[in-house]
Amino acid sequence: MNSQNNIRVDALSDEESWTLFMEKLGHERPFSPEVERIAVDVARECAGLPLGIVTLAESLKGVDDLHEWRITLKRLKESNFWDIEDQMFQILRLSYDYLDDSAQQCFVYCALFDERHKIEREMLIESFIEEGIIQEMNSQAAVDKCHSILDRLENVCLLEGIDGGSAVKMHDLLRDLAIQILDEYSLVMG
């Protein structure tokens, strides 16, 4: 980044990871002991990486089902990580996988924009509709659905709302993930 001072940022401890995970999860009711044990393991599997912890916790908001927590932990544990970037991609990919098809398509579409620039929400909504990603019977329903999807992507930290909510940005790692997903899709379709 051509900075004058380099600052080393270490991974969070297990305790810090758990605190951040629970803060972002925003769980109102206490977990059952079994779900809490699994949730602790899920937070630990994020390897102290704040972006992964925040994104995964946001995507698991409202999930109380023991089976869903087990599946999440199993998928994290079965991942073969070669380096920190692979590990981060796997954690972020899990958050992507929790989205419905329309939200997934909208997320991947955002990768067409440079991560350093803001993307105007209204322009993005027009693009979603024009490209046929969102297909509702009337135009107001389509616009409402697009706003809802963008809100969801912001809520699960896959997009960052900026300029008072009139625009969004995509973190460079998330853009890389979206491009990787596009590449996978191209291989399957090609």
**Local structure of residue 2 (DSSP, 8 states):** -
Question: Per-residue pLDDT tens for 113-153?
Answer: 887 789 999 999 999 999 999 987 788 999 999 999 999 99
* Euclidean distance between CA atoms 69 and 105, whole angstroms: 25
The one-letter amino acid code at 23 reads E
Q: Tell me if 22 sits within 8 A of 56, measured CB to CB.
A: no
- Read off the pLDDT of residues 26-74 as tens digits, 9 standing for 90 and up: 877 788 899 999 999 999 888 888 888 888 898 888 888 899 999 989 8
Query: 14-97 domain in CATH 1.10.1060?
Result: no
H or E element: which one contains 120? strand 119-120
Q: Where are the alpha helices (DSSP H) in 60-190?
A: 66-78, 84-97, 101-109, 121-130, 139-155, 172-189
Domain boundaries, the chain: 14-97, 101-189
Which CATH architecture best describes the domain 101-189? Orthogonal Bundle (1.10)
109 pLDDT above the threshold of 90: yes
Strand pairing partners for 160? 169
